[in-house]
Amino acid sequence: NAGVTQTPKFRVLKTGQSMTLLCAQDMNHEYMYWYRQDPGMGLRLIHYSVGEGTTAKGEVPDGYNVSRLKKQNFLLGLESAAPSQTSVYFCASAQGDTQYFGPGTRLTVL
């Protein structure tokens, strides 16, 4: 069992570039989440999904889009990256009360 994996681990973008972060889980969990973690602000929920084909906005969704075409994958897209999106991005999955987190993606936008 790999649990929750995220690719890539690190990425540097220039302002205006686009990219997609991939989250994959092999635990057959229904719920998946994308968070960002910034210094002094804790983790904030960007988008989440309660099942294949469904997505919903979290606390800070602006500038991001998501897709959940397959149950095991949850993609986070940045269409036009901005320096304010420099952060560490965490994906999590859950079945019931416990969320299982991936190792994170460190994104820098110059």
Partner 1 sequence: KQEVTQIPAALSVPEGENLVLNCSFTDSAIYNLQWFRQDPGKGLTSLLLIQSSQREQTSGRLNASLDKSSGRSTLYIAASQPGDSATYLCAVRITGTASKLTFGTGTRLQVTL
Q: Rounded to 5 degrees, what angle do the CA atoms 65, 90, 108 make? A: 75
Binders in 59-88 for partner 1, by CB under 8 A: none
Nearer to partner 1, 50 or 110 (CB): 50
- Work out how close the CB of 35 gets to partner 1 at its nearest, in angstroms, rounded to a whole number: 8
Using CB under 8 A as the binding rule, the residues of this chain from 32 to 61 that contact partner 1 are 33, 35, 40-45, 48, 50, 56, 58
On whether the CB atoms of residues 36 and 91 are closer than 8 A, the answer is no
Q: How far apart are CA 103 and CA 61, in angstroms?
A: 21
By CB under 8 A, name the one of 20, 65, 67, 99 that touches partner 1.
99
Does 2 interact with partner 1 (rule: CB under 8 A)?
no
The residues binding partner 1 (CB under 8 A) are 4, 31, 33, 35, 40-45, 48, 50, 56, 58, 90, 92, 94, 96-104
